[in-house]
Amino acid sequence: MITGSSRFGNLLLKKDGSVQVPYNVRITQTFEDIFGENVDWLSEEQTVHNTSSSYGKRNPSAILLPRFLCVRGIEISHSNSSY
């Protein structure tokens, strides 16, 4: 299960074509729902993500990932317009 929350700078694109600018968007989906057959595209632009642990012995490591991905059919479980 993956849970994510994002604030500021989100756009909620609705099925009817309208666009809402919510304060907070929350998703709760299975890994398969996000990275299974619903992936529409991955960006060519890449970014580095730190995978190092900040606890115990430090062993710097990172992975290179697509900067953006587009996923179809993700359910938004919660959306607020303000605090």
In the chain, the N- to C-terminal Cα span, in Å, equals 26
What tens digit of pLDDT does each residue of 44-55 get? 999 999 888 766
The reply to whether the predicted model has a pTM over 0.75 is no
Could you tell me which residues come within 8 angstroms of residue 53 by beta carbon, excluding any fewer than 6 positions away? 59
- pLDDT at residue 13, rounded to an integer: 77
Domain count, the chain: 1
Which residues constitute the domain of residue 71?
2-80
Residue 56, pLDDT > 70, answer: no
Is residue 80 exposed (0-12), middle (13-18) or buried (19+ Cβ within 10 Å)?
exposed
How far is residue 77's CA from residue 14's CA, in Å, rounded to a whole number? 14
Task: Give dist(CA 36, CA 33) in Å, integer.
Answer: 6
Mean pLDDT of 12-21: 81
